[in-house]
Copies of this chain bind each other. A is one copy, B any other.
Amino acid sequence: MTGDILAECGTLKAPVLIVHGGAGEFDRQRSPAQINRIGEGLEGALEAGWRVLGDGGPALEAVVGAVAFLEASGDFNAGRGAVATSEGSVETDAAVMEGTTGRVGGICAASWPESPVRAALAVMELGGPRSGPVLLAGAGADRFCEASGLAQRDPARLTGEGVAPISRNGTVGAVALDASGHLAAATSTGGRLGKLPGRVGDSPIVGAGTWADDASVAVSATGEGESFLVAGFAHKLAWALAAGADLESALRRALSSVRDCGGHGGAIVLAPDGRYAVAFDTLAMARAWRATGISTVRPIWPDDSL
């Protein structure tokens, strides 16, 4: 575990899409073939989101499309690739937030949905701005998904069997800035490998692992969830930016506060003026970003070679 926080920062012209496939120590175990698959997944997620953004579509639809692609790939710890709990079951967490309206939706400890991020979107759409539930858990979340007509996870994959170690640290997420200047964020995860059933981390909790607000920032985090949750990571970052802080230093401070809570990880961050930052204090973080004329895919650290 490195003690440093590594950050890549810059400014891009809207629309912008950033995706991640988790932060962790997994690069030590990965083969070149596995890293290739991660890179392909990130590239596919950029394409899925860009089909929306490039046509002038909304940031919300772009982040959901990008995250749903990563969930469906099976190569990350989210959706089809979600790792198993200590009992061999699969329980997924996800959240989505729309920066324009402040609407947010999340699910946690949910086994039903094939695409947890689409389930989170359905929770968000239950209410208007400032009304309706923002988080559904467990059996209630599953029954809501079924009643909403969301696709069910393939039961053959319910046990998490056949999921390669490649997926262990692969929480996925996306942030986007659309041509209209609106932000959105989404995060999806299977949680910690071998977790106690029912365990919930930061990903589905608004202000912890996921946040979007047109007045400040869109962010999706990955790492040791309990620490991001106790630290209030995304809220801390958003409030610092709303108060005028510099993007990179605010992100470094927020990640330091996560470390003060005992955890490590990383995040992707995008401001309404196109400033972006990716930062992590783990060995590796799979991440990629795209704007007009620019497409960068980094499945590992420090670069794309082993």
Contact = CB atoms under 8 A, between A and B. Distances in A.
Nearest to A143: B197
B235 A196 contact: no
Contact of A261 (B102, B108, B201): B102
A245 B56 CA distance: 44
Given A133-B226, A207-B207, A235-B232, A140 B138 contact: yes
Given A205-B205, A262-B130, A230 B137 contact: no
Contacts of A195: 133
A274 to B, nearest CB: 25
Contacts of A13: none
Contact of A229 (B135, B142, B197, B198): B135
A235 B109 CA distance: 24
Interface in A131-178: 131-144
In the assembly, how many copies of this chain are there?
2
A27 interface: no
A140 B109 contact: yes
B104 A230 contact: yes
A199 B132 CA distance: 10
Nearest to A257: B239
Interface residues of A, number: 46
A131 B196 contact: no
A281 interface: no
A99 to B, nearest CB: 13
Contact of A239 (B104, B132, B239): B239
Interface in A214-261: 226-227, 229-230, 232, 235-236, 239, 261
Contacts of A144: 196-198
A129 interface: yes
Interface string A102-140: 101000110000000000000000110111111111111
Contact of A139 (B127, B139, B236): B139
A206 interface: yes
Given A207-B235, A239-B236, A262-B129, A136 B230 contact: no
A205 B226 CA distance: 11
Contacts of A135: 199-201, 229
A91 interface: yes
Contacts of A263: 130
Contacts of A207: 207-208, 229-230, 232, 235
7 contacts: A137-B138, A138-B140, A139-B139, A140-B196, A143-B197, A205-B229, A236-B239
Given A144-B196, A232-B232, 16 more contacts: A85-B140, A108-B137, A109-B137, A109-B139, A126-B196, A130-B262, A130-B263, A133-B196, A133-B226, A134-B230, A136-B199, A138-B141, A140-B197, A143-B197, A205-B205, A236-B239
